[in-house]
Amino acid sequence: MHAPITYSEPGERRSLLEERPMRPPIIGKIRPGIKVLTKAARESPKAVALHDALLAQGKSFEQIGTEIQRATGIRTALVPKNVPWFTCRGSDFANAAVAEDIVQRYGEDRGDGHGFRLWRFPVIFAFDDWLSNMPNQLVAWTQSGRQYFSEYGSDGRRYCKMYAPPERDARATRAKRLWGGRTVILRQDDDIPDGLCDPQHCPQYQGGGCNLSASFYFAVPHAPGLGLIEMPTTSIYVLQKAHAAMQTVWMARGKLVGVKFWMSKQEVEISRIDESGKPLRQMQWLIMLDAEIDIGALLDGSDRAAPALELATQAVAVLEGPVAPDADTVQPERVIEGSPERPLADTSDGDDIESQFEDLVARLGLAAEEGRNQLRVYAAVAFGSGWSKRDHDVRKLLEEMRTALADPLAFHQQIAVIAADVSM
């Protein structure tokens, strides 16, 4: 008798799809700048007219360049140009309505309408690993794709990789079919004999054919779509500043997922080496990341900083139950229990606040122990230690709970995320 067919244990491969690394789907691209006509293209009236017409139609820069090349024969009709804003166009998205919605929500009218420009907008990263949020490598491109690219080995050294030449099938007149993608091998030739990626001695890098290639991958709040948005960059300065921002948030929060960052641009003076080898300083617009985190509160121990040590200790105490009174310890609020040890703040109009509280707790489906615990932590995070003694904070919480009656599930998710964040 055959053994019953069962699913594999968690973590084991069960499908051909699981043999390959998972990559988040990309629903669109927000660009860090624009592309403009080259000198040769500007000298062609046909190229200029075609560029202006396609740009007005909202076509992508790739589409514009392809159409100009087809009509005029100019192979390189467009070149990148750094500007103070980001470009968000429907042609760069699988669903053009998503780009339009992002611009309507976060675009600013600075005299010429919203257009396709974003000056500052919020982003949320999908991974706690900063490198997954902005992967980067050195890449040498050809017309057919990547020629050489850098990857780090298990020894921590950076290697120059390439795709292996296709093998010929001895029984057929075509190349052998490959399973799982093209084979990646070390580059080993006269220029790079040991396979190490050394830009100082790489002819492709020295000739300008190999450069930094990187992208940010993120979600934009309220932008629909099952996937992430990509923003490419080729600036090492941008990556350095973004890495510093992510590391700062990681040290403050212990996570990156769920933290709202703001992406904008700032004109910064940078240094580079010109063709003669002399250092040169110039102004350049760089992508900047910022987050709504009060670092000062984290450093001075404020109980409004989450999850600072004091707040985390308070949350643990709240979750574990009452503690013995101590002159130096703030007692956790216990107002969301049947018989509170500490009453809510008194109100001038004599309302029965505790009854209102219990009624809202029940109507929001938070009467169970887990829901009450999450609500306790949420209140401590939102209003600080001793909130139940402050009439205005009590009323604010009650008002939030009344508003949440319109969508209890969303409120549940909100307080659950905050409670989980504090308890990490």
pLDDT average, residue stretch 37-46? 90
The answer to whether the CB of 249 falls within 8 A of the CB of 198 is no
| Residue 262: band (very low, low, confident or very high) from pLDDT cuts 50, 70, 90 | very high
Task: Report the C-alpha gap between 379 and 381 in whole angstroms.
Answer: 5
286 touches 266 (CB < 8 A)? yes
Check pLDDT > 50 for residue 339: no
3-state secondary structure of 217: strand
pLDDT for 317 equals 46
- Where are the domains positioned within the chain? 16-108, 130-293, 298-423
Burial class (CB in 10 A: 0-12, 13-18, 19+), 1: exposed
Beta bridge partners of 137: 213
Q: What is the mean pLDDT of residues 146-175?
A: 86
State how far the alpha carbon of 201 is from the alpha carbons of 160, 163, 187, 193, 275, in Å.
12, 21, 14, 11, 17
Could you tell me which of 277, 2, 24 has the C-alpha nearest to residue 129? 24
Q: Is the pLDDT of residue 397 over 70?
A: yes
**Cβ pair 126, 257 in contact under 8 A:** yes
What pTM was computed for the model?
0.65
Does the pLDDT value for residue 309 go beyond 50? no
**Can you tell me the distance from the alpha carbon of 376 to that of 337, in angstroms, rounded to the nearest whole number?**
10
Quickly count: other Cβ atoms within 10 Å of residue 36's Cβ.
15
List beta partners, residue 286.
266
Classify 114 in phi/psi space as left (phi over 0), alpha (psi -120 to 50) or beta: alpha
- The predicted structure's pLDDT at residue 241: 92
Q: How far is CA 418 from CA 179, 306, 396, in A?
A: 44, 9, 18
- The residues, ordered by sequence, that sit 6+ positions from 190 with a Cβ below 8 Å of its Cβ are none
Work out the mean pLDDT of the chain and round it to a whole number. Answer: 79
Q: What is the mean pLDDT of residues 80-108?
A: 91
What one-character DSSP code corresponds to residue 219? B
Which residue has better confidence, 349 or 112? 112
d(CA 170, CA 151): 32
Distance set, CA 21 to CA 132, 225, 257, 373 (Å) = 13, 21, 20, 38
Q: Do 396 and 357 touch, CB atoms closer than 8 A? A: no
Residue type, 85: W
- Does residue 403 have a pLDDT over 70? yes
Tell me how far apart the alpha carbons of residues 349 and 394 are, in angstroms, rounded to a whole number. Answer: 14
Token pair of 159, please?
A: 């290697």
